[in-house]
Amino acid sequence: MSPLTKKLGRDLWRIKGQAIAIALVIAVGVLMQVMQTGLVASLDETRRAYYERYRLAEIFAPVARTPERLAADLRRIPGVSAVETRIVGHALLDMPGIDLPLQAQAVSLPDFREPRLNNVYLTDGRMFEGDRPDEVVILESFAKAHGLKPGDSLNVTMNGARRTFGIVGFAMSPEFLYSTAPGELVPDDDRFAVLWMSRTALEAAFDMDGAFNEALISLSRGTEPAEVISAADRLLDRFGGLGAYGLEDLQSDKFIAEEIDGLRRTTATVPPVFMAVAAFLLYIVISRMMQAEREEIGLMKAFGYTDWEVGAHYLQLILAIAVSGALFGGLMGIAAGRALVDVYLLYYKFPFLVFRLAPSSFVIGIGASVLAASAGGLFVLRGVFALTPAVAMRAAAPADYSKSLKFDGTLSGFLDQPTRMVLRRLTRQPVRMGGAIVGIAAGVALSAAMAAILASFDEMMELTFDVIDRSDVTVSFIHPIEARSLHDIETMTGVIEVEPVRIVPAILKNGRHTHRGAISGLVELPRPNRAVDADTRAIRLRQDGIILSASLARRLDIAPGDWLTVDVREGRRPEVRLPVIAVAESLMGSPAYMELLALNRALKEPLRVSGAYLRIDTAHAGEIYRALKHMPMVAGVAPKGDSRAAFQEITDRGAGATRYIMALVAGIITFGVIYNAARVAQAERARDLAGLRVLGFTRGEIAFVLLGELAVVTLLALPLGALGGYGLTFAISAGFSTDLYQLPASFGFSTFGQAMVVVVAAAVLSGWVVKRDIDRSDLVLALKTRE
């Protein structure tokens, strides 16, 4: 073992605390890189394989009712490789012991063959027999939520008729990776089921003999979907076509694509921040070590070591820290990725999901971290080449402190000696102290931003379910009905208020920007469910235009005063142009609002409603749910409490759960920065502090001289960190926002206070560790010249 290798081992042991702190920062960056890149690769590859294996359609073409013969015309469209027709309808389930009617979607499969498109993955039991119309296969997640098993029976209401089916199997489908009830955004396994039945059974249930109401289309390689969609719409238009759409507009695929894109965005932005912090820390540690070891560097060169050998020695020190942190982070990233895979299997209904480590992510994570950490050290190593043995072994020229702060007169009498020493060092080395302040401010900013993000999730829940939606129950109908039919609900015992609503599916267009969604028709002054502005004030709905949510307005690149084209996809399916009169705040989905009478007038269908918001006496909830269950016009009932619980579960898993990981990471980085600042200051002043002890200073005074500097630097970093955290909050909240929910950027005194607690705790812990080492230090050894 060469002398330089022995010195490298001693140096690493001497700065082991700093080395571990820096390595942890690097490890966190690599962990995020490997974990998230692996999750992206796993989700993307599993989704592709699942879609391909079970032949998920690329175009969905819903229609009111069209004869089966039209399937041949669809197959003749250029670029179409396969067509499968089917029947899809709404159903209500009556589960024993549950008052609430549960929503279901009934989907037909061919009687005696596998479907050409949208096949299902059977997880338990068997498929139904084609000649047994009373057999059904149900969605596995619903079956598990209710403890069902093959052989159980199921009471179902379809098209107003109540029937009993025997469950013969459980299944999963790529079409329902993210399974939500029609009209809802939040998946809830307890309240939504999918029923796969024979084509013959559903033809009888929905009076569709010899007809279908949805066509599934797959495309030949290289075919442009827009052209096929236009051709399909032209064929189906006269039969009540509701507008064909591509796979990207399928709700299930839309949300998993958003999840994957969110992970990609985080992977591209978060790890580089950690790498930069690590490079900054290494730069500080190595630069100050070089300054402290001027004589050692000169001595090594005097003994014949070349500039390259001495430079390589310090570069090895940097690489030892960087590589060890990167390797540890890579291994932890694999472990974290494998753990999160189980979470995603609950969040999305994949039949399998194996964490797939992308080798490139491991190489990129380790390579980028090592390069980033080494970059800071390389700037310092230039000084090694510039030092000649004679210059290096001579003490550095004393600094000019003639213009620094002087303590004369009253100020000198007011401040004691240790305090003057702290302030004198701060004013004599402003650049070095400025670097420490910036480093700690970066940790403050990250901690403050993550505290704000945690608070923003709570604010989003409160604003959505307490301020915007003040109803207790949402009732939806199978199809638009006359408003006077709500009288049956209004007269129920326990119903306090009923507010009508009409939800109209539509394609919103502004030039080349389009959005497939719906328009919510509300009364002029809605109470249970409102449109609110940025100050959470209720918006009065006028009859002269449409109000868009802020997220939808951004997506369509439209502002109040502009005109919006609305292609209605139900009823007469008119295309109308409406002025945008306001922008509303909404943190769930991307709604658009119109005054109910104005919406019905535009559709030329007066006095129609498709649902209602209810406020009820919870003491009569069971009675109300039972009455709604037996109303043939009711398609679904959604208690707000259940929706809130399901939404809370979503935000605590998947992409939302990463906020906890990032909050932990922010704490690690903050501690690493402050701890390194304290350790560097201790290393630089070890001989000076030992000299003060010899001169008669107590341990407490010595600790005050060192830790007082850390305290002042930390206090100065707090306001700078608050400003950085304010800006960082907006960037992180944008990364967390998806089509399902938009996270408000909420930065207040409470969040900054939480960040201050983290920073102060890190400073106190770092100070305690440093003070303990000062108390244990050997004065003779500290005063010796290290050679």
Q: What is the mean pLDDT of the chain?
A: 81
Distance CA 475, CA 497 (A): 13
Phi and psi at 559, nearest 5°, equal -135, 160
CB 136 within 8 A of CB 193: no
Query: Is 784 a residue whose pLDDT tops 70?
Result: no
Supply the pLDDT for residue 556. 92
536 phi-psi bin (left φ>0, alpha ψ -120 to 50, beta other): left
Supply the pLDDT for residue 651. 67
**Least reliable range by pLDDT among 35-39, 144-148, 572-576, 694-698:** 694-698
Strands (DSSP E) contained in 624-739 are: 634-639
**Least reliable range by pLDDT among 492-506, 566-580, 682-696:** 682-696
Taking alpha carbons only, the member of 118, 131, 123 closest to residue 55 is 118
Q: Per-residue pLDDT tens for 608-666?
A: 999 999 999 989 988 998 888 888 788 888 888 887 877 777 666 655 566 666 667 77
Output the CA torsion sign for 93, 95, 101, 105: negative
C-alpha distances out from residue 134 to 120, 213, 577, Å: 19, 21, 47
Supply the pLDDT for residue 138. 95
Going by pLDDT thresholds of 50, 70 and 90, the confidence category of residue 696 is confident
C-alpha distances out from residue 329 to 34, 76, 334, Å: 8, 55, 9
Provide the pairing of β-strand 634-639 with 211-219: unpaired
**Least reliable range by pLDDT among 99-113, 398-412, 496-510, 520-534:** 398-412
Section 217-235 average pLDDT? 91
CB 471 within 8 A of CB 520: no
Contacts of 366 (CB under 8 A, 6+ apart): 30, 323, 326, 327, 330
CB 489 within 8 A of CB 475: yes
Tell me which H or E stretch contains 217: strand 211-219
Going by pLDDT thresholds of 50, 70 and 90, the confidence category of residue 273 is low
Distance CA 39, CA 128 (A): 36
Taking alpha carbons only, the member of 66, 46, 42, 65 closest to residue 56 is 46
Distance CA 711, CA 705 (A): 10
Taking alpha carbons only, the member of 38, 80, 24, 78 closest to residue 57 is 80
Query: Is 409 a residue whose pLDDT tops 60?
Result: no
Output the CA torsion sign for 598, 599, 602, 604: negative
The Cβ of residue 420 has, within 10 Å, a number of other Cβ atoms equal to 17
Looking at per-residue pLDDT, the higher value among 512 and 787 belongs to 512
Domain locations in the chain?
1-56+255-397, 57-254, 412-468+641-787, 495-616
Query: Is 687 a residue whose pLDDT tops 90?
Result: no
Supply the pLDDT for residue 780. 58
Q: Per-residue pLDDT tens for 476-497?
A: 888 888 888 888 898 899 999 9
H helices of 512-605, in order, are 550-556, 596-603
Supply the pLDDT for residue 240. 84
Contacts of 48 (CB under 8 A, 6+ apart): none
Distance CA 261, CA 30 (A): 19
- DSSP helix, strand, coil percent of the chain (3-state; round to 5): 55, 20, 25
CB 125 within 8 A of CB 167: yes
Question: Which residues, in sequence order, are bridge partners of residue 60?
Answer: 216, 245
Query: Is 401 a residue whose pLDDT tops 60?
Result: no
Supply the pLDDT for residue 779. 58
Section 285-309 average pLDDT? 72
- Sequential DSSP letters for 728-778: HHHHHHHHH--SSB-------HHHHHHHHHHHHHHHHHHHHHHHHHHHH--
CB 128 within 8 A of CB 176: no
Supply the pLDDT for residue 36. 79
**Least reliable range by pLDDT among 74-78, 157-161, 392-396, 688-692:** 392-396
Distance CA 576, CA 26 (A): 56
Taking alpha carbons only, the member of 499, 493, 528, 489 closest to residue 619 is 493
Length in residues, the chain: 787
